[in-house]
Amino acid sequence: MDVIYLDNNATTKVAPEVIEAMLPYLSEYYGNPSSMHSFGGNVGAEIKVARQHVADLIGASPDEIIFTSCGTESDGTAIRAAIESNPTRKQIVTSRVEHPAIKNLYETLSKQGYHVTFVPVDNEGRLDLDYLYKSLNDDTAIVSLMWANNETGVIFPVEEISRQVKDRGITFHTDAVQVAGKIPIDVNNTGVDMLSLSGHKFHAPKGIGVLYIRRGTKFSPYMIGGHQEEGRRGGTENVASIIALGKAAELAKQHLEENSYACVSELRDKLETTLLERVTNSMVNGETKNRLPNTSSIAFEYVEGEAILLMMNEHGICASSGSACTSGSLEPSHVLRAMGVPFTAAHGSIRFSLSRYTTAAEIDFVIEKMPPIIARLRELSPFWKQKEKVNS
Amino acid sequence: MWEYTDKVKDHFLNPRNVGIIDDADGVGEVGSLACGDALTFYFKLDENGKIAEAKFQTFGCASAIASSSALTEMVKGLTLEEAKKITNEDLADYLGGLPKEKMHCSVMGRDALEKAISCHLGEAEKEVEGEIVCECFGVTDIEIDRVVRENHLSTIENVTDFVKAGGGCGNCHDRIQEIIDGIRGTVHPKRRNSPALTNLQKIKLIEESIEREINPNLKKDAGRLELVDVDGNRVLVRMGGNCASCIKSPVTLKHYVESKLRELVAPEIVVEEVP
């Protein structure tokens, strides 16, 4: 059975060009970039090229890029660096819809005496900017906000917010993991001091991340060790993955310049509008205007997400759900709850996330398979019958 | 991804006996949309008092649908006396087992069966029996007590897996622990009514009360209380999280924190905030 992969916000396929670029660094070019001999030194030179590609993707300078192991490490390093560099400041400002990569860190920090302010969102997933700006004060060590939400794709106005925050002399970090490669990023148009990326979200392998640190930003390393990454992140480089990331960044930039995401968003829109037409009692979660081009979170009322996913799985269709049952917790996604999505809809929310590899034929297949799946589960659901009785 | 047995997958993808029996002899409804799963179970008896037909409708995940389907198959041909003996473990066993986080699906099946039988016997729909412990999922102390005894559960996490209690805000964790301790015969320190505490005991008890009782409650509003010092009966605390900036925090401190500590530790306690 062919796999139809519409779960690209979870992880992406490694681009064939990327695999080709990295393979020699797992076999013949195994030198340590820190070595004095040219066998190692040549590897160091290739890392430099990769660093340049990553910097180019976000409009940064190569010396502002450090390689990490993943997005979570980048996020954690940024937050800890900010609070350690501002030891008298005890407040952290963030949103209620952040990724677990960073959300759970705040729980630990609150136990250590930090006050974390969680800025709410409205029912379209938009950030309450008034609340945000009013929360800022002399005690604020850092503001950290995701650039775009992984579940709904809703984009926060990070350019504007980061400038406002910077004007108040407060460090700003953004988790741009879902944004990289999907919409253009230019850190020069922002007040962003630190920014996290994750390779596997844009067609590099898992196990490689990036932290951008603007020149002049106070920083203290999280991983202390050798002189690698200018002493900002110790540990021998994950060479093959860095080369892979460089290639992935180069490809991502090309695709952004060629505007190939316009095709992705066309396919996404087709999927979304057709499903909404063909399936009654379905709706999009989050605003559709400022949204990632590849993401669509659709709520199917009166059915449960895990059951939907497993039926999709029978057709080889991969997606994810905001339902409680899929995560092991008993409550639906904190993002949907923060948006006030009613339980009837939250439990049956499915996230479709496309990539530049998604084809029109795949979308047509999903459009064909989804309505009968929802209809079948609604046949099973006692609420659906009750609802129909009420309406008739 | 959950590891479901082939039997669970089969009953999910090809559920047996889906539907409604219009002239049913017994109907049992459990769960709700908010909880994420719900089941309506119907049965019809033959002239010998045996279950001739059983049907269901379920909103929920794969294991909820599979458990419901399994239930309708298991009860066919049984008398009500025999059906009554089916436990949630029997249901899970019929399916070749369920992931532990999904055991509540088997409990839901058992509950629906019981309700349908009571309905047939004309027993008035029991008003919620016992006291609600978990407000998020509406679970009573009697239900928790039963599931702990029947399945030999020993932790709060177990209880959450079986009846969901404690899986939401977490405010009821203390009460669930008390029920478990009560059954297992362990004495909860909180309930000890010791007339004279040593200083060390007192500090420990204060710490424990803050962690187990007070902070989980303050956490609802993203607040937090930190114990700074204990000087005789003076308890010095620092307010953190949203409490630090909340104008109502002095009220919370006196009306809630102090009275709670007086109740749990000693009636002479005075709580003071330090910056």
pLDDT, residue B191, reads 42
**Which residue in B15, B33, B40 is closest to A344 by CB distance?**
B33
Strands A140-146 and A91-95, sheet pairing: parallel
Nearest CA in chain A to B15: A380
What's residue A327's pLDDT? 57
Comparing A153-157, B77-81, B249-253, which segment has the lowest mean pLDDT? B249-253
Give mean pLDDT, residues A59-79.
Answer: 97
Show residues of chain B in contact with A374, CB under 8 Å: none
Q: Which of B65, B168, B226 is closest, CB to CB, to A380?
A: B65
Whether the pLDDT of residue B98 is over 80: the answer is: yes
Percent of chain A with pLDDT over 70: 96
The pLDDT of residue A294 is 97
Residue A73 has pLDDT above 50, yes or no: yes
- A291-335 pLDDT, tens digit per residue, is 999 999 999 999 999 999 999 999 999 999 876 665 556 678 899
Do B28 and B113 touch, CB atoms closer than 8 A? yes
- Strands B26-32 and B37-45, by their bridges, are antiparallel
Check whether A383 has a pLDDT greater than 90.
no
DSSP codes of every residue in A147-167: SB-TTT-BBP-HHHHHHHHHH
The CB-side HSE value for B54 (13 A sphere, CA atoms) comes to 27
Give the per-residue pLDDT at B10.
96
According to the model, what pLDDT value does residue B196 have? 65
pLDDT for B128 equals 63
Rounded distance between C-alpha atoms, residue B76 and residue B69, angstroms: 12
pLDDT tens-digit series, residues A1-24: 899 999 999 999 999 999 999 999
- Asked if B242 and A306 come within 8 Å (Cβ–Cβ), the reply is no
Contact B242 A311 (CB under 8 A): no
Instruction: Indicate if B105 belongs to the active site.
Output: yes
- pLDDT higher for B132 or A118? A118
CB contact at 8 A, B76 and B51:
yes
What confidence tens digit (pLDDT) does each residue in A191-234 have? 999 999 999 999 999 999 999 999 999 999 998 888 899 889 99
On whether the CB atoms of residues A58 and A64 are closer than 8 A, the answer is no
Q: What whole-number distance in Å separates Cα of residue B104 and Cα of residue A347?
A: 17
Structure tokens at B176: 């669930």
- Across the interface, do A382 and B57 touch by the CB < 8 Å criterion? yes
Nearest CA in chain B to A377: B59
DSSP A66: E
Q: CA torsion angle for A290, A295, A299, A303 (degrees, to 10)?
A: -170
Q: Are A173 and A217 in contact (CB under 8 A)?
A: no
pLDDT per residue as tens digits for the range B20-62: 999 999 999 998 887 788 999 999 999 999 999 999 999 999 9
- Residue B194: predicted pLDDT: 45
Tell which wins on pLDDT, A163 or B191.
A163
Q: Under a CB-based contact definition with an 8 Å cutoff, are residues B235 and B261 in contact?
A: yes
**B241 has a pLDDT exceeding 80:** no
Q: With CB atoms and an 8 Å threshold, state whether B101 touches A328.
A: yes
What pLDDT does B192 receive?
42
- Average pLDDT, whole number, for chain A? 94
Structure tokens at A114: 């930090």
pLDDT at B129 over 80: no
Integer angstrom CA distances of residue A208 from A205, A248, B15, B176:
7, 11, 44, 43
- The pTM score is 0.81
pLDDT of residue A378: 95
Helix (H) or strand (E) holding A239, with range, is helix A239-257
The long-range contacts involving A362-369, CB below 8 angstroms and separated by at least 24 positions, are A362/A4, A362/A6, A363/A267, A363/A270, A363/A271, A365/A4, A365/A315, A365/A317, A366/A4, A366/A6, A366/A271, A366/A317, A367/A270, A367/A271, A367/A274, A367/A275, A367/A278, A369/A312, A369/A315, A369/A317
Best probe of the A interface among B5, B61, B65, B245, by most A CBs < 10 A, is: B61
Q: Which of A116, A314, A381 sits opposite B59 (nearest CB)?
A: A381
Give per-residue pLDDT as tens, A219-231. Answer: 999 988 888 998 8
Closest-approach residue (CA) in chain B for A323: B36
A388 Cβ contact partners less than 8 Å away, ≥ 6 residues apart: none
Angle, in degrees to the nearest 10, between helices B62-75 and A305-313: 90
Q: In this predicted structure, what is the pLDDT of residue B12?
A: 96
Quick one: CA dihedral B118, B122, B123, B128, positive or negative?
A: positive
Give me the count of residues in chain A: 392
Q: Quick one: pLDDT band at residue B189, thresholds 50, 70, 90?
A: very low
Q: Is a pLDDT exceeding 90 seen at residue A81?
A: yes
**DSSP per-residue letters across A10-65:** T--PPPHHHHHHHGGGTTT----TT-SSHHHHHHHHHHHHHHHHHHHHHT--GGGE
**Distance from A279 to chain B by nearest Cα, in Å?**
17
Give the whole-number percent of chain B exceeding pLDDT 90.
Answer: 36
Nearest to A19 by CA among A202, A205, A192: A205
User: A-B interface: how many C-beta pairs under 8 angstroms?
Assistant: 91
DSSP symbols for B66-133: HHHHHHHHHHTT-BHHHHHT--HHHHHHHTT---GGGHHHHHHHHHHHHHHHHHHTT---PPPPS-EE
Taking contacts as CB-CB distances below 8 angstroms, the residues of chain A near B57 are 380-382, 385
Cα–Cα distance measured from residue A342 to residue B140, given in angstroms and rounded to the nearest whole number: 25
Nearest to B34 by CA among A300, A378, A324: A324
B122 to chain A, minimum CA–CA distance in Å?
23
**B255: distance to nearest CA of chain A, Å?**
23
To the query of whether residue B243 is one of the catalytic residues in this protein, the response is no
**Got the DSSP string for B205-259?**
HHHHHIIIIIHHHHGGGTEEEEEEEEETTEEEEEEEEGGGG-TTHHHIIIIIIIH
Look at residue B138 in the predicted model and tell me its pLDDT: 81
In this prediction, residue B124 carries a pLDDT of: 64
Residue A378 · residue A34 · CB < 8 Å: no
Q: Are strands B234-241 and B270-273 parallel, antiparallel or unpaired?
A: parallel
